[in-house]
Structure 1
Amino acid sequence: MPEPAGTTTVPRDADGVSRTRSPQTLPRGRAVFSLPRGRAVFSLPRGRAVFSLPRGRAMPPEQWATHHAFVLRALAVLVAAVPVYALLRGHGPATAALSTAPLLALTLLARTTLLRRSTRAAAAALALMAVAAVGVQLSGGQTEAHFLFFALLPLAALYAARAPFLLAVGFVAVHHFVLGSLLPHAVFQHDVAPLPMASLHAAFVLLESWACLAAWRRFDDRRELVEQLVAERTAELSAQRDELARLAAVVQCTDDAVATLSPDGRITSWNPGAERLYGWAAGEIVGRHMSVLTGDGESPADLTALSGSMAPVERRHRRRDGSEFDALVTFSTIHHEDGTLTGVAGIARDITGRKRAEAEARAAARQLEEQAGELARLALHDPLTGLANRTLLADRLEHALADRRARRHAVLLVDLDDFKAVNDECGHEAGDAVLTAVARRLESVVRPADTVARLGGDEFVVLMEDVEGRRDVVAVAERLLGALREPVAFGDERFTVGGSVGVALTGATDRRGMDDLLRDADLAMYVAKSGGKNRVRVFERGMREEVTAQDELVRDLRAAVTNGELRVLYQPQVDLRTGVVTGVEALARWQSPSRGLVEPAGFIPVAETSGVVDAIDDWVIGEACRQLRAWDDAGLPALGVAVNVSARRLGTGDLAVALAAAARDAGVDPARLEIEVPEAVAAGPDAAAGIREVRALGVRVAIDDFGTGSSSLSRLQDLPLDRLKIDTTSVALLAADAAAGSLADAVIALGNSLGLQVVAEGVEEPGQLAALRALGCDTAQGHLFGSPVPADAVTALLRDGRVLTAVA
């Protein structure tokens, strides 16, 4: 069968039936009232069951009330007309009343405000259809009376809801098909066949329903379209408003000056950034010509020439106070929808600082370019001495080793002896002066082609390329040491520093690199320094065994501290006036299981160079404090204990902490402890702070071996010292009849002038004792009074409580 006119074919469903719809596309998700081939039915989309009627939109209460009032007024007129029509048709009053009663009941139900509005709308729709049904019955089924259904059915669509409309259509269907079949005389005239009449009326009702549905749907679609257009336009206007608000906020908060101009150059808007930049308030500048802002007082002849896609331009602008600045200005034209120029927007920024920075950067670049050569030189040379640094040395040594035509090369590692004392006594300025002088002397000794480099600190390297043999290299090394022995003047001071030189020679088949050669030279230098300093040693393979033995000694010494192999012996210190033992000096000894008894000279130097001496110092201090406590608990006379500390310990800053902790743990007064510091160390600036920290605890401080080092009397006067100790060599030179004028006499006199006690070490003969007593020495110690002994022997000595016969 051909498809109905005015429809559009859509793809067939799975059941093979093609669906048609009206050209007006309905909102997606709703079922459509369609006509399949050969029959008219309500078509439901596959998989869901929905009504063909639109759901509609909920009316606002005011609009719904208006529609409902109109329906109620129509019902009132119709209900009033029913009894009149019944009487006119010849029915009696009873029939008229019975016909009117249900209509009146439904009308009153529709008027009841207590019910929901959906219920009231349903009652009104039933009342409308009931009026038409009663009219048909009163007319005796007259055909013209059926048109009342068609007239009243659209009123049910005024609610724009499914329920009332479907209820009305259903009422008509039930009335015509059901009632028309069961009681034909109540619906149709008696002389007409019921089925044709029912079909005819049903067709008219369905056609009327379809007309109402189409009108309703078209109205609803149009309303949705209008609402959608309104919503889209509202959203568009809102987005534009938000965008304008954001742009306005940006313009208001930016530090740049933003202004708009009319086509003739007059200012029309002015943001806070412009107020801050130019000094003009918006109320003062708006309406004036932009020429008041330019440095030359003139504006561009054509503003459009500066707008569009052109790059920003730099101009001189003027502030309100007359000061000028460099401005970077960007223009953009503003056009009407028809393309007419309506204004120009300008953004200005102060670039005076940027241009000044650019000028400074260019000047700095020129300066850097001028200094490039100097920087390149500094990258390869030591900044203090001007000698080659490690980088340049490595480069030259690499080239030398790569040249197989040369016979032999030599690397000489020079390490200064006693250089630390220079820094300690006179500061780093004196040390720098010594290093600079050493650098010049090294350069003066070697050949012009040789390289002298400073590796850092007091280490220097001389690279000698293409040397004759070992004898020539050693001769150069000896000359280096001779140059180092010459005194270096710094102000009023004169410093003499020696050195130790280690030499590493390359052979024809040598494959050692720079690091290997430096390591071997350093090993030779280490052997030279440990052999008495101021020496030259050439690397030999056997040196590794020497260093290995030294490393084993250090390892055994570290284990000795933790394994309890150290011992403390105590040597009495005697008051020369009373002969009473007033204190003892604690001396460390190492009782090694494999080495036997090791004297201090056999392990203290190694301990100092390896750093183990700190642990030894702490152990001796702790042991001395514990022994003091043991003597106190035994009821013996109170003694003082002197402990030697290493030269480096005062510079670490933790000696006072160690002393305080040891005294606190043992429960003894720190004032009964005394530390002995070498003269050279005490005179250094780094030790002064450590000495003051120790003295603040109450611990006494003595200068050990006074007279053997170089110290400044003014510096010693500034230190909180307690005693001076005359060294053993000075005491050995004393004789009973020749003490006056000796070094011991000078030390005792110095101590008396400074208010310090004087202690003599190494007293072994009665003549030395007599001389010291004659000079007024306070205290002495040595083999004449007793050798270093264990604590038990001191306990026995103190328990006797006698005066030493040597003094008496």
Structure 2
Amino acid sequence: MRDETESTAVGTTGVRAGDGTTDGPSAIGSVDPPPPGLLARAARALPCGRHLPDEQWQQHHRFVLRTLAALTVAVAGYALVAGHSVLGAGGLAAPVAALGTVAALPFLTRGERANVAAVGLMTAAAVVVHVSGGRTEAHFLFFALLPLAALYATPVPFVLAVGFVALHHAVLGSLVHGSVFMHGQSVAQMALLHAVLILLESWACFVAWRHFEDRRELVERLVSERTAELWAQRDELVRLAAVVQCTDDAVFTAGPDGRIETWNPGAERLYGHAAADVLGRHVRTLVAPSGQQLVGPALDSLHEVGSLRVERLHRRRDGSVFPALLTVSAIRDDDGALTGHAAIVRDVTEQKRAQAEAVSAAERLREQAGELTRLALHDSLTGLANRVLLRDRLGAVLSARRTGPGAVLLLDLDDFKAVNDVHGHGAGDAVLTAVASRLRSCVRPEDTVARLGGDEFVVLVPAAHGRDEVGAVAGRLIAAANAPVSWGPETFEVGCSIGIALVDPADGRDPDEVLSDADIAMYAAKAAGRNRFAVFEPAMREHVVAQTQLARDLRTAAGSGQFSLLYQPQVDLRSGRVTGVEALARWHHPARGLVLPDTFIPVAESTGTVDLIDDWALAEACRQLAAWDAAGLPRLRVAVNISAHRLARGDLAPSVGSSARAAGIDPGRLEIEVTETATTSCADEAARTLQEVRALGVSIAIDDFGTGHSSFGRLRVLPVDRLKIDRSFIATLDGRAGAGSIAGAMVAMGRSLGLDVVAEGVETAEQLDALRALGCNAVQGWLFGRPMGAGEIDSLLRSSSRVPAPRRRSPDQPTGRSSRPGRERVDLPAAGE
């Protein structure tokens, strides 16, 4: 192995001896070193040497010391033979003995002892040459001893030995001619000859040494690499052995005949067999009886395929069988001959179970996906197609190339809201389910019946033979919806209104536009009296656009002073005095002029702006009541109509209270009028809201009594003060037919409940006489005064404290009803009669 740095031949101090240590001063360290370039080239020409282990170095050094001892004796003996005295022979052998002794000193470094020993060897050869008188044969001792300096595996002793020979021949050969070369021979010739021989031998030694070192380094590198490979293989085998010992899988090997040779702990745990019980047995014993006949063919196939991966039933020691995944590989020697088999066995019971569960879960997911798809495309309550599926099928109809139009029939139940509000959602769901089933039975299989939501249904007829066929379908649907629906002890009858939009792919409409047209036609059918159908016409859309614009204008009307209140007197029949007024709203549109409640109230309810109108009417009525009080007029009660929408919101009481406080009046001067429908459409919310309002001292009146669905029991639990009989029941009264009329029954009901009764729409003296006879408390109508402004009410109250008795009209005189510009009163907030 090469030293860490290349050794140099000569130097002052610190010359590398090639053994990894720093030597002391060299034998010729006093001379100046040659130029660095020459020294570097000379150093590269020398062998690098290597660091010998201590034991090996000591062994070589002892051999050299023994050689020096033998040379000391040989020099002395040779001197005696050559004729020297004993003392002279001892003196000649003394330098060799001295150098050998110094080379044996233990306190010197290895390099110092090696250098001294090399010089000692050359000194012995020089003494022999001197004793021989310069004989040429004696010079061969230099050549014999010089290679011994190479035993130290470093070039420094060898270079010192060569240098010693060069100095000996050059100096002594010139100064003491007979001491180095024989007399009679040319000193220069002999010196040149010996120099060439010495250099040749040195060169031969160096070359041999260099080649030996190259070969040694190659061998050492190969040995090191191979050793590293073997250690790596050993480590890998150790790791593999650890894996085999620790794995839960069964790992075992078998010979070519199939008999088990090795058995890991995983195999013991899996099969239950200890290694001592199974070694030497055939692998067939591990297989379930049903598969043992397959073992032989499988082992034979390994000769060709090399590896095999199969799933078999294996058997444990206790006889239980389990599914095993078996991986078998052939083991071959360097010549490719089969020497055995290696097997890895894994219990796949859990995997099998997991696979079965995964398959079952996948099947359930497919079923759920199908159910989700069905739910995504069908209504959950009725099972009908939903809006998504309807639009898809309608789009297909619109994009189809065919002749003959189809039709979309949009159906809305007319009285469904009352059923849902009064009897609850259970009753409503029963009605919807029954109607859905009937609609399906009225159409063909290729037609689609869908529920859009709430009580809206759609029937898509892909192909129809003209309007007559579509009308016939609509008639069947209306008849089906009109049939009674039983729900427990209750029976419900709901009608329907149908809007029809004819479908023609050529008109370029999309599904949403077709459904919008059918919706417009449906509202036209409702406006025409319900329980009928209407076919869409373009003019209907213009009406919808107008209503939309009207709704847009309503949103700004209350805040921009476009509304005003008119007041219709209410007369007490016992005193004949005006005891109160009903506030009636009017809309003065900047472009349309006067808009009556029949026109704007339905739009206000549908858009929610009716709440703004309610708040404005309350505040304006309170302000006007305060103005009348300030003017010194008799104390009046002002009735304000409130919508069902506002009643359901639950914030009516705070609004009434704030309006009264802002005007500085007593809330007991106010009366809130609500319709029967408002108290039943949201029964719980209405009762709670009316209780809160009644707690402020405000009176509560049921308006248009007799047209809704109030029951006797319902009236008993509501905080009601007055009943206002609808004008439709007053119109049938005359002086001779009052006692047996419906109005008479209503008066009697109100009196039995302890409520005041007010008759609306009194227009004739005969009606007034009949109401007096029935015991009605108060009346209002055109017979006593039309709705009038606040100033007119002021004048009316100042002119007389009593309303004069109305004159009877002649038979040919038109009634007040015929002279009225349309209805003055609707069942909505701030609406007039």
TM-score, normalised by the number of residues in structure 2: 0.57
Does the 8 A contact of 2:408 with 2:461 survive in 1?
yes
Residue 307 of structure 2 corresponds to residue 300 of structure 1: no
Residue 442 of structure 2 corresponds to residue 461 of structure 1: no
Query: Which residue pairs with 2:820 in the alignment?
Result: none
* Correspondence 1:66-85 to 2 at 5 A: 66-68=56-58, 70-71=60-61, 74=64, 78=68
Query: Which residue pairs with 2:148 in the alignment?
Result: 152
| 1:168 equivalent among 136, 142, 157 | 157
Structure 1 unmatched runs, 5+: 1-43, 113-119, 158-164, 577-583, 628-640, 753-757, 778-783, 791-803
Residue 338 of structure 2 corresponds to residue 339 of structure 1: yes
* Correspondence 1:557-568 to 2 at 5 A: 557=554
What is the DSSP-based 3-state SS (H/G/I as helix, E as strand, rest coil) of the residue aligned with 1:723? coil
Does the 8 A contact of 1:703 with 1:723 survive in 2?
no
Does the 8 A contact of 1:643 with 1:676 survive in 2?
yes
What is the DSSP-based 3-state SS (H/G/I as helix, E as strand, rest coil) of the residue aligned with 1:517? helix
CA distance in 2, matches of 1:704, 1:54: 129
Query: Which residue pairs with 1:243 in the alignment?
Result: 240
| 1:192 equivalent among 184, 187, 193 | 187
Encode CA deviations 1:503-550: one digit per residue, 9 max, x unaligned. 234679755565543332223224444666445332222233222223
* Distance change >3 Å, CA 442–CA 726, structure 1 → 2: farther
CA distance in 2, matches of 1:621, 1:75: 136
CA-CA distance at 1:418 after TM superposition: 4.0
Structure 2 unmatched runs, 5+: 1-36, 573-580, 624-638, 763-767, 779-783, 791-800, 804-833
* Correspondence 1:329-408 to 2 at 5 A: 330=326, 332=328, 337=333, 339-341=338-340, 346-350=345-349, 353=353, 391=389, 406=404
* Correspondence 1:75-474 to 2 at 5 A: 78=68, 111-112=107-108, 120-132=109-121, 134-135=123-124, 138=127, 143-144=139-140, 146-147=142-143, 150-157=146-153, 165-172=154-161, 174-175=163-164, 184-185=173-174, 189-190=180-181, 192-193=187-188, 194-249=191-246, 251-252=247-248, 269=263, 275=269, 280=272, 300=292, 303-307=295-299, 308=302, 312=310, 315=313, 320=318, 327-328=323-324, 330=326, 332=328, 337=333, 339-341=338-340, 346-350=345-349, 353=353, 391=389, 406=404, 409-439=406-436, 441-442=438-439, 451=447, 453-457=449-453, 458-461=456-459, 463=461, 465-469=463-467, 473=470
CA distance in 2, matches of 1:269, 1:740: 108
Does the 8 A contact of 2:122 with 2:146 survive in 1?
no
* Distance change >3 Å, CA 356–CA 85, structure 1 → 2: closer
Does the 8 A contact of 2:149 with 2:157 survive in 1?
yes
Residue 459 of structure 2 corresponds to residue 496 of structure 1: no
Q: Between 229-238 and 264-273, report the one with greater CA deviation.
A: 264-273
* Correspondence 1:519-598 to 2 at 5 A: 519-529=516-526, 533-557=530-554
CA distance in 2, matches of 1:76, 1:401: 118
Encode CA deviations 1:77-99: one digit per residue, 9 max, x unaligned. 84997799699688799999999
CA distance in 2, matches of 1:175, 1:585: 148
* Distance change >3 Å, CA 393–CA 77, structure 1 → 2: closer
What is the DSSP-based 3-state SS (H/G/I as helix, E as strand, rest coil) of the residue aligned with 1:111? coil
* Distance change >3 Å, CA 260–CA 486, structure 1 → 2: same
CA distance in 2, matches of 1:551, 1:427: 32
* Distance change >3 Å, CA 266–CA 154, structure 1 → 2: closer
CA distance in 1, matches of 2:547, 2:88: 145
CA-CA distance at 1:232 after TM superposition: 0.8
What is the DSSP-based 3-state SS (H/G/I as helix, E as strand, rest coil) of the residue aligned with 1:300? helix
Does the 8 A contact of 1:500 with 1:535 survive in 2?
yes
CA-CA distance at 1:238 after TM superposition: 1.6
CA distance in 1, matches of 2:709, 2:617: 28
Encode CA deviations 1:435-478: one digit per residue, 9 max, x unaligned. 344345556767x69836224322222528444457x7557645
Does the 8 A contact of 1:325 with 1:350 survive in 2?
no
What is the DSSP-based 3-state SS (H/G/I as helix, E as strand, rest coil) of the residue aligned with 1:520? helix
CA distance in 2, matches of 1:82, 1:662: 142
What is the DSSP-based 3-state SS (H/G/I as helix, E as strand, rest coil) of the residue aligned with 1:239? helix
Q: Between 336-345 and 221-230, report the one with greater CA deviation.
A: 336-345
CA distance in 1, matches of 2:332, 2:655: 90
Does the 8 A contact of 1:260 with 1:346 survive in 2?
no
CA-CA distance at 1:379 after TM superposition: 10
CA distance in 2, matches of 1:433, 1:168: 120
What is the DSSP-based 3-state SS (H/G/I as helix, E as strand, rest coil) of the residue aligned with 2:413? strand
* Distance change >3 Å, CA 78–CA 302, structure 1 → 2: same
Does the 8 A contact of 2:646 with 2:652 survive in 1?
no
* Distance change >3 Å, CA 527–CA 313, structure 1 → 2: same
CA distance in 2, matches of 1:620, 1:72: 130
CA-CA distance at 1:204 after TM superposition: 1.0
Does the 8 A contact of 2:409 with 2:460 survive in 1?
yes
What is the DSSP-based 3-state SS (H/G/I as helix, E as strand, rest coil) of the residue aligned with 2:338? coil
CA-CA distance at 1:137 after TM superposition: 5.7
CA-CA distance at 1:483 after TM superposition: 4.8
Report the number of matched residues: 676
Does the 8 A contact of 2:557 with 2:563 survive in 1?
no
Encode CA deviations 1:192-227: one digit per residue, 9 max, x unaligned. 323332232112112122223333332332222222
What is the DSSP-based 3-state SS (H/G/I as helix, E as strand, rest coil) of the residue aligned with 1:504? strand
Does the 8 A contact of 1:293 with 1:317 survive in 2?
yes
* Distance change >3 Å, CA 395–CA 509, structure 1 → 2: closer
CA distance in 2, matches of 1:560, 1:698: 30
* Distance change >3 Å, CA 517–CA 270, structure 1 → 2: same
Q: Between 424-433 and 308-317, report the one with greater CA deviation.
A: 308-317
* Distance change >3 Å, CA 111–CA 426, structure 1 → 2: farther
TM-score, normalised by the number of residues in structure 1: 0.59
CA distance in 1, matches of 2:617, 2:168: 127
CA-CA distance at 1:496 after TM superposition: 2.8
CA-CA distance at 1:236 after TM superposition: 1.4
* Distance change >3 Å, CA 704–CA 439, structure 1 → 2: same
Encode CA deviations 1:733-762: one digit per residue, 9 max, x unaligned. 799x98998557757977x9xxxxx89999
CA distance in 2, matches of 1:534, 1:241: 93
State the identity as a percent. Answer: 30
CA distance in 2, matches of 1:177, 1:621: 139
Does the 8 A contact of 1:725 with 1:761 survive in 2?
no
Does the 8 A contact of 1:107 with 1:123 survive in 2?
no
RMSD, matched Cα: 7.2
Query: Which residue pairs with 1:14 in the alignment?
Result: none
CA distance in 1, matches of 2:618, 2:47: 102
Query: Which residue pairs with 1:579 in the alignment?
Result: none
Encode CA deviations 1:404-444: one digit per residue, 9 max, x unaligned. 654x5543322223434434444444334323443455567
